[in-house]
Amino acid sequence: MGYYQRHIFFCLNEREGGEACCAQHGAQDAFDHCKVRIKAEGLNGPGRVRVNRAGCLDRCAGGPVAVVYPEGVWYTYVDAADVDEIVESHLKNGRIVERLLLAPDVGR
């Protein structure tokens, strides 16, 4: 097992010129919310869960996006309730949230 059991990366990239990007869809708020929830649940720290910022993950068309490792599970989300579901189901209990999965063919 690695230093963290799970690692979630939120794309926070902001593109200029109106090009589609996760920052246009509340990615920073979702990241902040996830950090608070992970800490409140006592899931943060070594051997547990790490929440990280990421630059462009190159899946802009499905934005906003986040990816959980080591599983390599890609999510799209709409609001804090979706992030709460990812925290509770996947990050806490290891169950993938099927309804929030990003389609495998979605790219930039």
User: Would residue 40 count as lying in a domain?
Assistant: yes
Mean pLDDT of 52-71: 94
Backbone angles phi, psi at 32, to 5 degrees: -60, -45
Mean pLDDT of 52-81: 95
Per the structure, the count of domains in the chain is 1
User: Would residue 9 count as lying in a domain?
Assistant: no
Q: Report the amino acid identity of residue 52.
A: N
User: Would residue 55 count as lying in a domain?
Assistant: yes
Separation CA 95–CA 25 (nearest Å): 25
User: Would residue 35 count as lying in a domain?
Assistant: yes
User: Would residue 108 count as lying in a domain?
Assistant: no
Using alpha carbons, list the distances in angstroms from residue 86 to 30, 78, 93.
11, 12, 10
What SS3 state is found at 40? helix
- Structural domain including 53 reads 24-64+76-97
What SS3 state is found at 90? helix
Query: Confidence band (pLDDT; 50, 70, 90) for 18?
Result: confident
User: Would residue 32 count as lying in a domain?
Assistant: yes
- Residue tagged 């794309």 (tokens): 11
pLDDT digits (tens, 9 = 90+) for 29-55: 999 999 999 999 999 999 999 999 999
